[in-house]
Structure 1
């Protein structure tokens, strides 16, 4: 069982829709203690898309919960139960999907209201998708101009392979400012989104240890090779730090697994 599976199991067992857990309480639930980043980096407690590289967020979201607040000084985190709607989106249990006052009496009227609600929701999603697509195209255009069509990490100038990467993901924050972006080659963009590659606030590249024996290890410790000439368009140090903190949290999660692996390997060695 992975470390954070214990937290998922615990949250699934709760009867209520809200809960506040102290870090000490979570440490008692987990087989080993929370990593240092949970105490020092607020992004550790961010919600992410299920199936991301953040296995700790997958644990509570997989159980149907999301974080709604935390306090590093007082060392606690607040969770609220959510449920997947008909299209897979998360919906707050605390808010009814249909207000009773708006529904006429009788099952036919209620069904009509539900159908209208689904139709409006579908139209809203389509409009949101259109605006997101248009925003992304303009975002890439601005980054291509700002970075001179050069990948900030690799220096690649093959423009069809260059993509606009959000530093703070669009799913967490709608921000198409050039300062919240990096122009990256497609493969590096993927690794950046997975927090396998990151850039610290000083513009130095970090690469996960899991890519140690790959061609990407060459970028570790390098400064960005391309930056906008206009200082006002350069990536925000605060946004880079926020992304880099999640990279650190993921690396520390790997550290949690390392001792167990080492013990298992040692137990299998012949005398």
Structure 2
């Protein structure tokens, strides 16, 4: 039986998991549907050195988890790829090719443990060219989905919240239990899929309900839109709470008096955009997940 206590949502999108998600979506590029804007952007900007990544995913039609460790920091994730055991890498590739010969170019491209400079350079260049311009939108879509999932758990319980994903979760865990991380992705346009990683962790990837915008949003566009919604002062407070702080420090950051800052914080807290935690005689203000979504400018 699945341990509901082992299920959690990923705290943030993970760069190489989103890279793998997007490569699968790009390999099926149709220039239609909710991802058509991003697909056109990525197809036009795909670096030459990253082309083997797309060819590999197209050939294998397989999860290929060795290029997508569940790590939220890109540089560390790339180091994990470089150090991935050969047995894991070639085991996945042999399974993907199902007895067929693995092409020589792919053997050379993937490399061996500690000698995967071509593979890691391709992953980095692909992320920078195709995902980084949209990364604020990817993050906002992920955060919005986490907020909705949390609401569902609060209202109906974990079992009900994960029911749409139950089959995907149970199938890979049939041979044994393990931690389950839900990873909603704005860059995945297929059915929910479970990917098992080293250490027994199961990552369940599924599409977010809100699509990516046709073009990546810009910081200035997000700032203007938020100021129109909240007003300049409260928008400035949200911007200055990307790093949580107390009222005195916040008043200094936005150059307002303490009483005025407290009044605005009270309004933002009442609307669910800011949370305040009291620690002894001090308070600490921080953005809620909803505040993060608004700040990121999800459209």
What is the TM-score normalised by the length of structure 2? 0.23
- Point out the structure with the larger helix share: 2
What is the TM-score normalised by the length of structure 1? 0.25
- Point out the structure with the larger strand share: 1
Which structure has more RCO (C-alpha within 8 Å, separation ≥ 6)? 2
